[in-house]
Amino acid sequence: MSHFLIFGLLFTTCSIVFASDPSPLQDFCVADPKSQVLVNGLVCRDPKQVQADDFLFRGLNLMGNTSNNVGSNVTQVTVAQVPGLNTLGISMARIDFAPMGINPPHTHPRATEILTVIEGRILVGFVTSNPENRLITKVLEKGDVFVFPEGLIHFQKNMGHGYAVAIAGLSSQNPGVITIANVVFGSNPDIAGDILAKAFQVDVKVVDKIQSKF
C-alpha cells in the first residue's frame, strides 16, 4: 500500500472523527420531525415537499423576556426551529440581557460558538480543561467578536445599566446546552448531597439549600 493511500485513509478517518455534524450529500436535507425512524440527526423529508418556510425563521429582531433569576433570555435558531438546517452544521441564537444580567456558566457539547455584541457592554469568558482550569476573559464592546471553543464552560454578563444584545453562531445544527448549575444541583433525581458536599468542600446543608432552588 502506497504512502499516499495510507495518508488518504488517515485523512478521511480523521475528517469523519472530528466533524461535529455529518456533511450533506445533497443540496439539502430538510428535517422530518414526524418520522419514526431513529438516526444520528434527523431524517430527510421528500425534497419535492420542501417549501421556502422550511428555511425561514422570523422574530430574531424581537427582544426575549429577561424577567427571570439570571436576567437573560436565549432565542435559539436550531434545526428544531428551522428544519432546513438539518445536516448543514450551523445554527445561531440571540441572547438578551437585562441590566447586570448573566448567561450563566454553560457548555455546548457539540459546537464552537462565535459571539458578536450588537448592543451594550458584555463580559465574556471561558475556562480551559483540567488540570490548568485557566480563565480566559474579556469585556466586549458593541461590534466586538469572541469565540468559545467547543465543549468548554463559558459565560456572559451584561456590564451596563441598560439592556444588552448579542448574536451567536454555532457550528452544529443542534449544539446542545448544559447549564452547569442546573445539571449539578437540579438533576432528576438529585445527585446525593454527600457527593456534592465533598466535591465542593462545603457542608451538606449548603448543598441541600442550593438544590432546593432548582
The verdict on whether residue 103 carries a ligand-binding annotation is yes
147 beta partners: 114
Q: Name the grid cell of 211.
A: 438544590
108 is in an annotated binding site: yes
Could you give the CA distance from residue 164 to residue 95 in angstroms, rounded to a whole number? Answer: 8
Q: Is 161 annotated as a binding residue?
A: no
Sheet of 145-148: strand order equals 72-77, 91-97, 164-170, 113-119, 145-148
Dihedrals φ, ψ of 156, to 5°?
-140, 150
Is there a cis peptide before residue 189, judged by omega within 30 degrees of 0? Answer: yes
Cα separation of 83 and 48, whole Å?
15
Is 141 annotated as belonging to a binding site? no
Question: How many whole angstroms from its chain centre is CA 199?
Answer: 26
The residues, any chain, with a CB within 8 Å of residue 148's CB and separated by 6 or more, are 108, 112, 113, 114, 115, 124, 126, 154
Give 175-193 as a DSSP string. ---EEHHHHHHS-SSPPPH
Residues annotated in a binding site for oxalate:
103, 108, 113
Residues annotated in a binding site:
103, 106, 108, 113, 154
Residues annotated in a binding site for Mn(2+):
106, 108, 113, 154
